[in-house]
Amino acid sequence: MGRVIVSQFISLDGIVTDPDGSDRTSAGGWAFRHGRGPVEGDKFRLGSILDTGVTVFGRTTWELLGRLLSPRTDDFSVRMTKMAKLVASHSLTDVSGWANSALIDGDVVDAVRAERESRDVSVVGSLSVVRVLQAADLIDEYRLMTFPTVLGTGERLFPAADAPIHLQLASTVQNGPAVLTTYERSAGQG
């Protein structure tokens, strides 16, 4: 059985809104203010998952990354383009613009559960997808690239909840001014 791994750029105060500035929010682009190092390549250390797993995207993240990565020839971009991709969207009817992409037919939770039976499932960005998977208690691991920025407003990765979520620290790696921290589901959960 595979794992469901969520990878996010996140501010010090837990905000995930508009790290690249593409949404044109007032604080947008905060991750890119720290240089290219923490945001380029396989920054979330997905490694072999790029070759054997599947990534689930919401429409907005899929469109953005498809535009950015599909024409590039660096190793990471080529591997992301070759990787199997599932897109959760109510408005898209054609995902041929980025190779190896398919629309999720039906429920996101059902699709992720089915994929998880045989391989790792990665979710990059795509907060709407993350929210659905959080509600279904399907996330096994969070890979958070935390930047030394306090935004004050925006959407948080972890919404208010009725019960605590207990995770255990798996690794921490400094990446320039940012830190990649991996948290796994604590034993006994899920």
For residue 2, CA distances in Å to 51, 68, 168 come to: 14, 28, 18
Q: For residue 66, is pLDDT > 90?
A: yes
Q: Contact, 118 vs 52, CB < 8 A?
A: no
Q: Which residue has the higher pLDDT, 173 or 38?
A: 173
Furthest C-alpha separation in the chain: 46
pLDDT tens track for 90-107: 999 999 999 999 999 999
CA distance 37 to 32: 9
Phi, psi (degrees; rounded to nearest 5) at 180? -90, 115
Q: For residue 188, is pLDDT > 80?
A: no
Residue 28 confidence (pLDDT): 84
pLDDT tens track for 127-166: 999 999 999 999 999 999 999 999 999 999 998 888 888 8
E strands, 12-128, in order: 54-58, 84-88, 101-103, 121-124
